[in-house]
Copies of this chain bind each other. A is one copy, B any other.
Amino acid sequence: MTGFALDSRLERDSLFIADGPLSQLRLIDDSRFPWLILVPRVNDAAELIDLDGSQQRLLLAEINLAAQALRKLGRCDKINIGALGNIVRQLHVHVLARVEGDVAWPGPVWGHGTATPYSTTARAARIHELKTRLMA
């Protein structure tokens, strides 16, 4: 874990929520969607297949927890999970809640329009809600 470096773009676009066994869990600062990312604290990993089996199983467990927390947060018609990395190479997995009729529905959120950052109050509230749901 020593010397793990978070990509500067991920750091700018998202907010720290918690450290899981493998990954940093972060909230994407875009109030249009309840949108989490998991960033394994493994330097130089770009692909899922760069992780070994035990790391992959930890990540899978973290994806499950993130999805369950999102489902408890409010209306969720579909969970979207994605590992793309075409722009930011550092391995990160998106886990987000979709609602029928949201601004990108039924298309993917990636590359759709411009992020709407949370207000300071809404951001703190969302992070608090998520921490509560993750521990429930």
Interface residues of A, Cβ cutoff 8 Å to B: 46-49, 56-57, 60, 63-64, 67-68, 71, 78-87, 89, 98, 105-108, 110-111
As for how many copies of this chain the complex holds, the number is 2
Which listed residue (B60, B71, B80, B85) contacts A83, Cβ 8 A?
B80
**Cα-based distance from A48 to B82 in the complex (angstroms):** 12
Could you give 11 example pairs across A and B, Cβ below 8 Å? Answer: A47-B67, A48-B79, A49-B71, A49-B79, A57-B57, A80-B85, A82-B84, A86-B98, A86-B106, A86-B107, A107-B110
Query: Does B81 contact A67, Cβ atoms closer than 8 Å?
Result: no
Which listed residue (B49, B80, B86, B106) contacts A64, Cβ 8 A?
B49
